[in-house]
């Protein structure tokens, strides 16, 4: 039994590498994700030269720690920009993101980002508050003081 479990564990761990196209695509979300725009992150910071890695973006928006003093600002569930951000950068479905935050909330492990109903509200908040960051679509008009930190 131990050997069998070990084999299953190894197969499971290899799945993400061996079967990238295994994907049963997420019908509704995939449609949104393949929309013509991309997601970029903009921040209200003093420097113009800051580039975040994907891991740092994941850390920022999933409650982890990064070495830069930034506060993440999110958009509420149901908005297509959030959906596309979760699918393309966080790499999770909305269900998984919600269950993750429920776990973090009820165990007191991590605090979710400040969240706004609409992208324009999130962007306006970032524009007014130093050291904050949010995600927007490339079709959004970005205030001149904000810096693109991930694209």
Partner 1 sequence: MTAVFSKTMITLRHSLTVLVVAWVAFSAHAESESAAVDVLDTSAATSTSDARAVNSSKLKLSTFGRIVAGRINDSDMEFFSYDDEWRANRQSLIGFRLDTEFTDKLTLVTQGVGYTSNSREDGITQLYFNYSPVRSTNIRVGRTNTALFNLSESYDIGFTYPWITPPQQVYSEFLFINMDGILLNYGFGNVDIAGDIDVYWGQYGNEFVIAGASNFAESKHSQGIALNIYKDNWHYRASYHSSHFEIQIKQTGELREALVQVGFQDIANFISDTGEIKILQAGVHYDNVDYFFRSEWTKLKTDIYIMPEIESAYATLGLNYYPYSIYATLAWSDLYYPPVSNGIPLGLNPQLDVLKFLVDDLSNVLADDSLVSLSLGARYDFSHNIAFKLETTVLNGEDNQRGLFNVFSENNPEREAMLFQVAIEWVF
Q: By the criterion CB under 8 A, which residues form the site for partner 1? A: 1-2, 4-5, 8-9, 11-13, 15-16, 22-29, 53-56, 58-59, 62, 64-67, 74, 76-78, 87, 91-96, 98-103, 105-109, 111-118, 121-122, 124-125
CB of 130 to partner 1, least distance (A): 15
Task: Decide the pairing of beta strands 39-43 and 147-150.
Answer: antiparallel
Considering the complex, state which of residue 113 and residue 146 has its C-beta at the smaller distance from partner 1.
113
Which is closer to partner 1, CB of 24 or CB of 141? 24
Characterize 42-66 residue by residue with b for buried, 16 or more Cβ atoms within 10 angstroms of its Cβ, and e for exposed.
bbbbeeeebebeeebbbbbbbbeee
CB of 40 to partner 1, least distance (A): 18
Cβ–Cβ under 8 Å, residues 124 and 44: no
Cβ count within 10 A of residue 87: 20
Q: Which residue, 59 or 137, is less far from partner 1 as judged by CB?
A: 59
């Amino acid at each position: 039994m131990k050997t069998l479990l070990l084999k299953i564990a190894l197969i499971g761990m290899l799945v993400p590498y061996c079967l990238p196209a295994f994907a049963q695509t997420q019908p509704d979300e995939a449609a949104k994700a393949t929309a013509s725009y991309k997601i970029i992150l903009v921040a209200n910071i003093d420097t113009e030269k800051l580039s975040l890695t994907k891991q740092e973006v994941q850390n920022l928006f999933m409650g982890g720690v990064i070495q830069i003093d930034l506060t993440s600002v999110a958009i509420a569930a149901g908005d297509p920009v959030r959906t596309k951000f979760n699918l393309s950068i966080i790499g999770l479905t909305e269900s998984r993101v919600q269950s993750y935050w429920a776990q973090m909330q009820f165990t007191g492990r991590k605090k979710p980002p400040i969240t706004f109903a609409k992208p324009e509200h999130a962007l306006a908040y970032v524009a007014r508050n130093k050291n904050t960051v949010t995600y927007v679509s490339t079709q959004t008009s970005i205030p001149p003081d904000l810096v693109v930190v991930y694209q």
